[in-house]
Amino acid sequence: MTYRERLTNVIKAQGSHLCVGLDPVPDRIPGDVGQFLQQVIEQTAEYAAAFKANTAYFEVMGSRGYSVLEQLRDWIPAEIPLIIDSKRSDVPHTQQMYADAFYKELRADAVTVNPLMGAETIAPFVADSRYGAYVLGLTSNAGAADFLAQPLARQPLWRQFAGLCERKDLGPGTLGLVMGLTQQANEAFEGVPDVPLLIPGLGAQGGTAEALRGLAERSAPWIVNVSRGILYADESAAAVAQRYRDEINAAVGVP
């Protein structure tokens, strides 16, 4: 079964497009980071279609953090995908090492990649259709306006990156796109190819579920990531995750 098929199935089974971000900041966590994340996963798994871990938040803790990163797959229910958010970009041989590290050692189901060095650097991540990769498209940060949103050959750079997702030699349907929700208030995902989407920006970054309405008729699976809004809320992670799931579903319908 391909990554796209698995993600489609879990979205329907969970009735949710929510991706729970696991980005621990030790200074904001009482007690052990591993125990904290394990509790978050247990509380939110009922409402999650995926979990996403940004490697920077684990690497900053050194070997202790990497040990926690290695255990995430054990804590997440087997049917729910784990996405490693690393945004790697390097020559193909090095990218293969990253792919092996993320898929074989961390047992991730998908990763994020930076396509700036060309299609050949993405290929190692989608050589096996069981795994997926999300190409950086129009990201949720304000700095996306510096390059990604700028015209290049009469169209924004991000649209050219999006075209990689439809290339047959890169496993169409397995390769997806990162599209920031904060950039979609007026565009409603207009012109975005019907490929798997990873959508950051809901909650703490200022994105709203209303901008998701343009996704209602898409066939490819899409998920909306929320990290800080769940991890550091004043109420239980379960209650917040349920509210975000329901907010997304209210905008586009229950999958």
Give every CB contact of residue 176 below 8 A, 6+ residues apart in sequence.
4, 110, 132, 133, 134, 135, 165, 195, 196, 197, 198, 220
- Decide which of 166 and 86 is more confident: 86
Judged against a pLDDT cut of 80, whether residue 198 lies above it is answered with yes
Q: Which domains does the chain have, with CATH numbers?
A: 3-252 (3.20.20.70)
Please list the alpha-helical segments (H only) found in 15-150.
Answer: 33-44, 56-59, 63-75, 92-100, 123-126
Mean predicted lDDT score pLDDT of the chain: 90
Surface-to-core class of residue 90, CB atoms within 10 Å of its CB (0-12 exposed, 13-18 middle, 19+ buried): middle
In this structure, the dihedral spanned by the alpha carbons of residues 178, 181, 183 and 186, taken in order and rounded to 10 degrees, is 130
Residue % of the chain over a pLDDT of 90: 69
Q: Which helix (H) or strand (E) holds 252?
A: helix 237-252
Report the pLDDT value the prediction gives residue 182, as an integer from 0 to 100.
Answer: 78
- In the structure, what pLDDT confidence band is assigned to residue 109 with cuts at 50, 70 and 90? very high
Q: What is the DSSP string of 148-205?
A: TTSEETTEEHHHHHHHHTT-GGG-BTTEEEEE-GGG-TTTTTTT--SS-EEE--BSTT
Report the pLDDT value the prediction gives residue 66, as an integer from 0 to 100.
Answer: 96
Report the pLDDT value the prediction gives residue 170, as an integer from 0 to 100.
Answer: 80
Report the pLDDT value the prediction gives residue 171, as an integer from 0 to 100.
Answer: 67
- Residues serving a catalytic function are 87
Surface-to-core class of residue 173, CB atoms within 10 Å of its CB (0-12 exposed, 13-18 middle, 19+ buried): buried
Judged against a pLDDT cut of 80, whether residue 128 lies above it is answered with yes
